[in-house]
Amino acid sequence: MTALPRRQLCKGCGYPIIFATTIPAGKTMPVDADPSESGTIVLHGTDPENIVATVLRKGQIAGARAAGQPLYESHFANCRDAATFRKTYR
C-alpha cells in the first residue's frame, strides 16, 4: 500500500503538488497531488517522505487503469510557471 504523500503548494502557481523520486533516474519530480484521467505516473512507497514515481509506457497505462491504480500527471505539464523551475543542463 502506498503511503499518503505530503502535499505542498507549488511556489509558482499555488497548486497542490507532491515531490516524488523517479525510477530509474533517481531525480526529484513535482507531480500534481490529485489523480488525473490523463495521468501516466504511478506513485508508490510506504514512507510519505520518500514517494517513488514510475512513468508508465503507453502499453502499461490501460492495465493500471483497469486495476484501479490511481495515475498522476507531472506538474510541469500543467504549471503556468513550469519554465521557471526547469533545470537547464549544459
Question: Structural domain boundaries of the chain?
Answer: 8-78
Taking CA atoms, 52 is separated from 21, 81, 86, 90, in Å, by 5, 24, 20, 27
What pLDDT is recorded for position 20?
A: 93
CB-based burial label for 18 (10 Å; 0-12, 13-18, 19+): buried
Please check whether residue 40 is in contact with residue 53, taking contact to mean a CB–CB distance below 8 angstroms.
Answer: no
pLDDT, one tens digit per residue, over 27-81 is: 899 999 999 999 999 999 888 888 999 999 999 999 999 999 999 999 988 888 7
pTM given for the model: 0.82
Average pLDDT for 12-35: 91
